[in-house]
Amino acid sequence: MVAIKEKIPLDPFASHFALTGALKHYGRVKKMGLPDRYRLFFRAIQTEEYKAIFVLWLGYPRKQGDKNDCYKAFTKMVERGDFPNSLDALILDSQED
């Protein structure tokens, strides 16, 4: 997928990936090789030592205003703490299983 291999690594903090509010630390991809109305959510973390991008969730078809809208679903996951906040915790979580 062009977004994961090329677009996100080029500049994961670009404004066209940026989300706001409760999701301000996350990015999302739309189009760029995804089916219509799907969203790919990711977290990019950059320190002096590392630049890491974690693909977190592929949201199902977006339906604005719907109680099951993928942005609402992802926001609930973030608020529940489903995704670790630190780079070390994300790395550890990605290596489990």
- Judged by DSSP in three states, 83 sits in coil
pLDDT tier, 97 (very low <50, low <70, confident <90, very high otherwise)? low
Cβ burial, residue 72 (10 Å; 0-12/13-18/19+): middle
pLDDT tier, 84 (very low <50, low <70, confident <90, very high otherwise)? confident
Q: Each residue of 38-83: pLDDT tens digit?
A: 999 999 998 888 888 999 999 988 777 788 889 999 999 999 999 8
CB 44 within 8 A of CB 52: yes
In this prediction the pTM is 0.86
Report domain extents, the chain.
Answer: 2-95
Q: Each residue of 13-39: pLDDT tens digit?
A: 999 999 999 999 999 999 888 888 899
d(CA 21, CA 6): 27
